Amino acid sequence: MAFELILPKDKKTISNTEYAFFVGHASNNESITINDEKVFTAQNGAFAHSVKLRNGENRIAVKSSYDFNPKIYKIYKNEIKNIYKPKLVELTPALYKVLKDNTPLRKTPEDYGMNRMSHLFEGTKLIVDGEKNGFYRVFLSKNKTGWVAKDSVEAIPEEENAPKFITMKSETFKNASIHTLEFTEKLPYTIDENSDEILFKVYNPQAAEDSVYTVNIKKPQKYFYKTVSSNGTYVFKVNALPYVENALEGLNIFVDPGHGGTELGAIGCLGDKEKDINLKIALELKNLLELMGANVYMSREVDGFVSLDDRVKMARENGSNIFVSIHLNSIPDIKMDIHKNRGTSVYYYNPNSKQLAESVLDSITTGINTRNDGVRTASFAVIRPTDYVGILVETAYMTNPLDSVLYRGENFPRETAKAISEGILNYVNPCK
Ligand SMILES: [Zn+2]
């Protein structure tokens, strides 16, 4: 059989990206050229190739050494003109309130990236004094502003009396510390971390422009934390990861196979679906972690759709200490290089999860010998919560021809799971 192209599926495609991306596989000794450029093929026939697109119609010829007639792809690239540049508009300071719980307060007026300062509670009162790009600028204190999406808040009438501070206390327990700040109303807060402290700050700009209440909390070595609020009372709880006597005994670990059901995830050069490989690795991982004494919960144990919110909800309901999401990577656009970016990368969002990310990456790249593609940060919904230590493992690249040889290997799921479990163990219990 001559080559089969997995992506793009259609011969006529409209693209808003800079590159067209071809992924497929060739048969034995077949060589593929795309626009007269020879395409690298792995030993199982897998290939991936990108072509830079011009504006308008692009004709791309994919040719096999077995077939005299090339397959022609017409890909139309939309010209991107008049890129919208949002402007900052200064507004007369006015009072607003947050419409629902879990509203991101951001460092920049953008709905992406590592820019969340906290998640505000419904009814939090804010002073808004500017707008940009669909966001309101929130005045927190003299030197600090944040941003909230315009549709997440609504204007409320001016008030005569500013909210008042009532009381503040800290209690320390064996594995946790609880810090309570009480005000007459809900106020904006932020959480920052430096190398040895967590800084929990509540702002009361209606009272004064430098009215900031800060709690400095010494960080345990391994930790997670959580903020709850009712009315104007903020309870900030920092937990040390429970002490474990043997292996992972008693730890609650949540294993999350990415995607599922109609959501296939990435598609490999030979047509493999990411969701299936994620599940195989995750089921092996569950067994291994249970053998090490952990209580393991999973977002799914069969093929099926589970929303991102539900995954987080389940992990919380099960009191998870550690959250591990299993994926395989793909090249979303050509900022990454098809052939250079391969192997394993581990993502985290909050600083409390960096150590685990490093430990798991180290264990996989040495254990199964994948290329080290680095520890990275990314704003993925399942690893944003702070109430567990959370990582997202991209074990290999679905769309990398050489990686496809790895992940199609019979032992890949078990060996990857073993390396992940050892990475978790080294993080939890480094001496054993
Ligand atoms: Zn994925």
Ligand 1 centroid vs 150 CA: distance in angstroms? 30
The reply to whether 231 and 287 lie within a common domain is: no
Q: Write the CATH number for 302.
A: 3.40.630.40
Whether residue 247 lies inside any domain: the answer is no
Whether residue 246 lies inside any domain: the answer is no
The reply to whether 146 and 267 lie within a common domain is: no
pLDDT of residue 336: 65
Ligand 1 centroid vs 326 CA: distance in angstroms? 8
The reply to whether 194 and 256 lie within a common domain is: no
Whether residue 432 lies inside any domain: the answer is no
**Structural domain tally of the chain?**
3
The reply to whether 271 and 386 lie within a common domain is: yes
Whether residue 342 lies inside any domain: the answer is yes
Ligand 1 centroid vs 325 CA: distance in angstroms? 9
Tell me which of 177, 212, 240 is where a domain ends: 240
The reply to whether 155 and 36 lie within a common domain is: no
Written as six digits, the tokens of 79 are: 């010209």
The reply to whether 230 and 346 lie within a common domain is: no
pLDDT of residue 185: 95
Tell me which of 37, 59, 77 is where a domain ends: 77
Ligand 1 centroid vs 393 CA: distance in angstroms? 9
The reply to whether 203 and 274 lie within a common domain is: no
Residues of the chain with pLDDT under 50: none
pLDDT of residue 11: 66
**Domain hosting residue 110, numbered range:** 84-240
Whether residue 120 lies inside any domain: the answer is yes
Q: Give every CB contact of residue 364 below 8 A, 6+ residues apart in sequence.
A: 344, 346, 370, 393, 395, 416, 419, 420, 423
The reply to whether 227 and 300 lie within a common domain is: no
Q: Write the CATH number for 26.
A: 2.60.40.10
Ligand 1 centroid vs 390 CA: distance in angstroms? 15
Q: How far apart are CA 142 and CA 132, in angstroms?
A: 20
pLDDT of residue 341: 82
Ligand 1 centroid vs 328 CA: distance in angstroms? 5
**Partner residues linked to 169 by β-bridges:** 180
Q: Give every CB contact of residue 321 below 8 A, 6+ residues apart in sequence.
A: 224, 241, 242, 251, 252, 253, 388, 389
Cis check for the bond before 8: say yes or no (omega within 30 of 0).
yes
Whether residue 59 lies inside any domain: the answer is yes
**pLDDT (tens digit, 9 = 90+) per residue, 144-191?**
999 999 999 999 999 889 999 999 999 999 999 999 999 999 999 999
The reply to whether 226 and 291 lie within a common domain is: no
**pLDDT (tens digit, 9 = 90+) per residue, 265-299?**
999 999 999 999 999 999 999 999 999 999 999 99
The reply to whether 219 and 284 lie within a common domain is: no
Q: Write the CATH number for 193.
A: 2.30.30.40
Q: How far apart are CA 113 and CA 18, in angstroms?
A: 21
Tell me which of 207, 240, 273 is where a domain ends: 240
The reply to whether 161 and 32 lie within a common domain is: no
Whether residue 178 lies inside any domain: the answer is yes
**Partner residues linked to 327 by β-bridges:** 394
The reply to whether 362 and 257 lie within a common domain is: yes
Ligand 1 centroid vs 272 CA: distance in angstroms? 13
Whether residue 245 lies inside any domain: the answer is no
